[in-house]
Structure 1
Amino acid sequence: MPNNLTDITNYLLELDALKLVNRRTYIDGGLRVENSAEHSWHLAMACWTISRSFKLEVCEEKLLKLALIHDLGEIDAGDTFLYDVNRDSAHNAEREGVQRLQAHQGNAVIELSELWEEQETGTSPETKLLKVVDRLLPFLHNINSEGRTWRESNVKKSQVANAHAFISDNFPEIHAWMFHQLNLAVQAGWLINE
């Protein structure tokens, strides 16, 4: 039995704060924005589904862990929009947040920071899949909401194409599907054709 259940429950409340971090991604066809905890769950389920659908040789336990901890740093740092000019430095504040959670007295996941670093900088098959699906889901929500986030933020086709170009290296089928959807979004006026 753990020595201090109060420390553990305090830590669980710290983790629960991920529900308070709103993203710019509209869900349910544009009714509301999702929070980062919802995204983490969706990411885990989508990674699991795609790994099975594509019959990938990945460690599912590791994949799911990476997905679940992927956005924990946002508890302190908040969510950074994919097309934000400060996107390249967002990981610094997120890393500090994960280190704070790692050091919490109620945390029993000793590899928390190590797993977060792997999903952030790693090149394992699990990490590659995670990064693809992490881009696929907001893209899918944008298509489903008639580009609501793109329209609100004046996002250009070139920005979306550049942010998703890496997907063609490991998942050309997914990239081809996304590129087709991207062209349809431009035709529908959801994206600026630049």
Structure 2
Amino acid sequence: MTNRISEISDFMLQLDVLKSVNRRTYINGGERVENSAEHSWHLAMACWAFAELLQDDYDVPKLIQLALIHDLGEIGAGDTFLYSSHRDDAHIQERESVKQIASHSGNPIGNIVELWEEQEAGESKEAKLLKVIDRLLPFLHNITSEGRAWQDNGIHKNQVLKMHQFIENENPEIYGWFISKLEHAVEQGWLDAS
């Protein structure tokens, strides 16, 4: 038993590395950027809340699991900024990192790779909601920080629209909220109108 506790403890320390992966999104209040572990926790809570709000028979425990592991690959790959030109290839290195994490001798969770692949494919009801909320949270942080990350990185309205367009098909009500907040950000000068 002592050896198993030591192995799982080592696994927990490997997962702890996610706290060291900084994102470009500022936390509420804008005093610093968030890390990927904070984002994963926030995403899990937001998905749970939206699942309750939408009342669409989501498998909430599975949804929370998907949220908690969705950025696990960043332990080895780092965070890829939403508007990066390397975004389309990020999943390759992330997938290898997830496989390495899952193969750790102290990992008792047998379906990490399968769950990561499910959220990556984005086809299940839960994975679709996760993708929507994963896009909304950094957007919300940009609204509360008056567009700080957008301004830091020279992001324009058309880029934000392009990366959030899929939400219209997934949930028109959320998309309508997004558009109203986007227009407000442009009117306030937090986001370049082009």
Give the TM interval when normalised to the shorter protein.
Answer: over 0.9
Letter in 2 for 1:192: D
The sequence identity of aligned pairs, in percent, is 57
Report what 1:172 is aligned to: 172
Alignment partners' CA distance in 1, 2:39 and 2:172: 24
Report what 2:187 is aligned to: 187
Letter in 2 for 1:149: A
Q: Is structure 2 residue 40 aligned with structure 1 residue 9?
A: no
Report what 2:51 is aligned to: 51
Q: Is structure 2 residue 52 aligned with structure 1 residue 36?
A: no
Report what 1:19 is aligned to: 19
Q: Which consecutive residues of structure 1, in runs of 5 or more, have no partner in the other structure?
A: none
Preserved CA contact (<8 Å) 2:7 2:106: yes
Alignment partners' CA distance in 2, 1:122 and 1:189: 33
- Cα deviations by residue, 1:78-118 (Å, 9 ceiling, x for unpaired): 11100001000011111011000011100111110010000
Deviation at 1:119, TM superposition (A): 0.3
List aligned pairs for 1:27-176, cutoff 5 A. Answer: 27-176=27-176
Letter in 1 for 2:52: R
Q: Which consecutive residues of structure 2, in runs of 5 or more, have no partner in the other structure?
A: none
Q: Secondary structure at the match of 2:150?
A: helix
Alignment partners' CA distance in 1, 2:97 and 2:182: 34
Q: Secondary structure at the match of 2:33?
A: strand
Alignment partners' CA distance in 2, 1:192 and 1:90: 27
Paired positions, count: 194
Letter in 2 for 1:144: T
Letter in 2 for 1:123: E
Q: What TM-score results when the alignment is normalised by the length of structure 2?
A: 0.97
Preserved CA contact (<8 Å) 2:132 2:167: yes
Q: Secondary structure at the match of 1:4?
A: helix
- Cα deviations by residue, 1:8-67 (Å, 9 ceiling, x for unpaired): 111010001100001000012211110100000000000000010111211011101000
Alignment partners' CA distance in 1, 2:122 and 2:85: 23
Letter in 1 for 2:93: A
Alignment partners' CA distance in 1, 2:124 and 2:2: 34
Preserved CA contact (<8 Å) 2:151 2:191: yes
Letter in 1 for 2:123: T
